[in-house]
Amino acid sequence: MTGLQSDAPKSVLLVDDNPLDSQLAAARLERFADIRLSCVSSQAECLDFLGKHKVDAILLDAHLPDGEGVELIDRVLANCGPAAVIILTGSDDEQFGLTAVNRGCQDFLVKGAIHNQIIYRAILYAIERKRGEAQSRLYDEVINTIHEGICITDARANIVSVNPAFCRITGYQPSEVIGQNPRLLSSGRQDEGFYQALWEALRQQGAWRGEIWNRAKSGEIYPQWLSISAVGGPDPDSLRYVGVFLDITALKAHEHSLLHLAHHDSLTGLPNRLLLQDRVERAIEFARRDQSRIALLFLDLDHFKIVNDSLGHAVGDELLKRVSARLSGVLRRSDTVARLGGDEFMILASDVGSAAEIAEIAGKIAEALAAPVELAGHTLNIGGSIGVAVFPEDGGDFPTLMQHADTAMYRAKHNGRNTFCLFDPHMNAEAVDRLRMEAELRQAIANGEFELHYQPQIDLGTRRLIGVEALIRWNCRKRGLVPPSVFIPIAEESNLISQIGAWVIEEACRQLARWREAGLPGMRVAVNVSARQFANSAFAETLARLLERHRLDHSQMEVELTESTVMANPKTTIAQLHRLRAAGIQVSVDDFGTGYSSLSYLKRLPISTIKIDRSFVHDVHAENDNAAIVAAILGLAKALDMSIIAEGVETEAEENHLRGAGAIAVQGFRYARPMPPAALVSWMRRDLGRTAF
């Protein structure tokens, strides 16, 4: 209460059935300008008035014609809202007045002892008391309903009050903690210095807030966010410490989850690049101190993009999970395997010794990846190319080691995939040149720097031309003529191969149309198709539409696939090959014998031709191994009713051996090198003397 007198008007309702008493009360209050008095004489009138008007105070005679005593008081209290109620009693009813106060009234007055100042002061006090009680109830309601626990101690740090949230969080009831020191909640995680600093802050600043670990009654240790304030009083003994705390177990778990997501790959659960970098930097510190070595292995899955494109991302994601599990299963506990993104992984091997030990780790990884994966009804054959960089020989920090491991990985891919390669300083120049060539390849696509050369395919028996193979050439403005063996691997790695492959097919169709106009209507062209192109489920339909647009017979186009492409995913391959056959397009398998064909699948593939790789044709007449392989391939083709073309024939001796072994078609430098279209036509007329097909 800030003062008894106030200029703010106060509405007062007098309820009394005695006209004399009412007149007397009105006379005593009319001198106070801030009082607005209304009078009624019954319970019914009182309740009706309260239903229509808001009042600040009620002077209530406890004995009315239509109500009296406790029942009257309770009825008025139930309808008075925020109004203060003062009971008017007779001189012998003081005990009843006390009962009224206990029921919720703010005061009582004995009618015979009332004078001007008493009744006015009583009204002001009652209004202030009512407001104080309402405020107190609000505070109590807030304290009892908030989620934060509240613990109040006296100046000696003994608990004097707790709220329901305190009991819910700690498991203690008020009777178990009041009078106790809050140290009964201590978890033991914080040392004595922590609590000394806490109390020093309270003494110096009057407040402390921070994270603390406490123990519930059940014994469970949990984290709290605690705020303590010192609330002073008129004397030291009245000092109180108010602690407000929140159980942040869920928040800490969420923080841990976010931290895990920030440092781990969401798909595989493996560490991501950020966490890997931290571990590599720590490993470098230890290795530098102990004068030891660490190895960083960069792994890129072979042919993963084919799986992802042909079977969908869901299967691709599951494959990555399987690979992650395999890698984690073969590495040492001290090693870290991380996923960088896509199909790229990196392995940190700490405290490695010789190159032989590094090779053993890489060998285990390669062996783990070599086993087929059964997934979504498909048998997937995967492998990986691994590049290795070693600290301190190949770099002294994470970015350098990672860059060098990446460079070595590309060398492993160039060397035939499914293998590993240690970094060599000379690779840096090659890596820079590779990046330049990739940029130049993109420019070459835009500038039209590619052209097709054609190499004849000859029937050994008749010496007649039976078709040609289209071979791409890059006439680079800066480098000159770049062989396919140099730029095709870069095109595959940079995903440019699909654009280049689409151009090859389009150009081959245009050339067939030109030959038709020149009087060579039966020419057949074989084009090499990349694994990425072939993985497109619409490939057969797109090719058929292209042939129709150029008004070409579908039999004039032959698609050449490498053995590794055919066997990467045999079930999907079979469906694609059947679509090509249904469109009347022939398919041949290039480089046969260099992969790992499964005969159980090979016999089911609708393939028209097998091409024997040039490595088996070379000196076939003199090398027993090559001769045996060629004989086996010829026998297999005959059994499966497939045609044979032997590639890379260069000598008469090789030709004679192949003819004797039963081969019927060949191509190679012995007959002609790949040549531009005009030169091919001239060669046909000059060397063959005829152009019949």
Where does CATH 3.30.70.270 sit in the chain?
Answer: 266-424
Query: Which CATH topology does 10-143 take?
Result: Rossmann fold (3.40.50)
3-class DSSP state of 667: coil
Tell me, what's the pLDDT at 560?
Answer: 92
pLDDT band with cut points at 50, 70 and 90 for residue 599: low
Residue type, 289: R
In 3D space, the residue among 538, 531, 532, 533 whose CA is nearest the CA of residue 563 turns out to be 531
Q: State CA 30 to chain mean position distance.
A: 78
pLDDT band with cut points at 50, 70 and 90 for residue 4: very low
118-122, 143-147, 277-281, 418-422: which has the highest mean pLDDT?
Answer: 277-281
Where does CATH 3.20.20.450 sit in the chain?
Answer: 436-685
d(CA 406, CA 296): 10
Tell me, what's the pLDDT at 428?
Answer: 62
11-25, 92-106, 171-185, 607-621: which has the highest mean pLDDT?
Answer: 171-185
Give percent of the chain with pLDDT exceeding 70.
94
Please determine, for residue 234, whether its predicted confidence score (pLDDT) is greater than 70. no
Predicted confidence (pLDDT) per residue in 109-147, tens digit: 887 666 667 888 888 998 898 888 888 787 878 888 888
Tell me, what's the pLDDT at 166?
Answer: 94
Where does CATH 3.30.450.20 sit in the chain?
Answer: 146-253
Tell me, what's the pLDDT at 601?
Answer: 60
Predicted confidence (pLDDT) per residue in 442-456, tens digit: 889 888 999 999 999
pLDDT band with cut points at 50, 70 and 90 for residue 92: low
d(CA 670, CA 647): 11
H helices of 171-312, in order, are 174-177, 192-205, 249-263, 273-290, 304-311
Predicted confidence (pLDDT) per residue in 467-482, tens digit: 999 999 999 888 888 8
Please determine, for residue 692, whether its predicted confidence score (pLDDT) is greater than 60. no
CATH 3.30.70.270 fits 266-424, yes or no: yes
3-class DSSP state of 570: helix
Q: Quote the tokens at residue 299.
A: 């792994």
Q: Quote the tokens at residue 297.
A: 């292995």
| Contact (Cβ atoms closer than 8 angstroms) between residue 391 and residue 294 | yes
Residue 91: how many CB atoms within 10 A of its CB?
9
**Torsion 423-425-428-434 (CA) sign:** negative
As a whole number, the mean pLDDT across the chain is: 86
In 3D space, the residue among 327, 359, 329 whose CA is nearest the CA of residue 343 turns out to be 327
Contacts of residue 311, defined as CB under 8 A and 6 or more positions apart, other chains included, come to: 376, 378, 569, 572
Predicted confidence (pLDDT) per residue in 500-534, tens digit: 999 999 999 999 999 999 888 788 999 999 888 88
Query: Which CATH topology does 146-253 take?
Result: Beta-Lactamase (3.30.450)
Q: Which CATH superfamily is domain 436-685 in?
A: EAL domain (3.20.20.450)
Please state which of the ranges 301-315, 390-404, 620-634, 664-678 shows the lowest mean pLDDT.
301-315
- State residue 569 phi and psi, 5-degree precision: -150, 80
d(CA 608, CA 679): 28
Tell me, what's the pLDDT at 449?
Answer: 92
Predicted confidence (pLDDT) per residue in 316-359, tens digit: 899 999 999 999 888 888 889 999 988 999 999 988 877 778 88
How far CA 347 is from CA of 359, 406, 416, 459, in Å, comes to: 13, 12, 21, 52
Residue type, 284: I
Give the 3-state secondary structure of 160-179: EEECHHHHHHHCCCHHHHCC
Q: Which of the two residues, 672 and 369, has the higher pLDDT score?
A: 672
Tell me, what's the pLDDT at 259?
Answer: 77
Tell me, what's the pLDDT at 571?
Answer: 74
In 3D space, the residue among 445, 452, 398, 401 whose CA is nearest the CA of residue 422 turns out to be 401
Where does CATH 3.40.50.2300 sit in the chain?
Answer: 10-143
Tell me, what's the pLDDT at 597?
Answer: 53
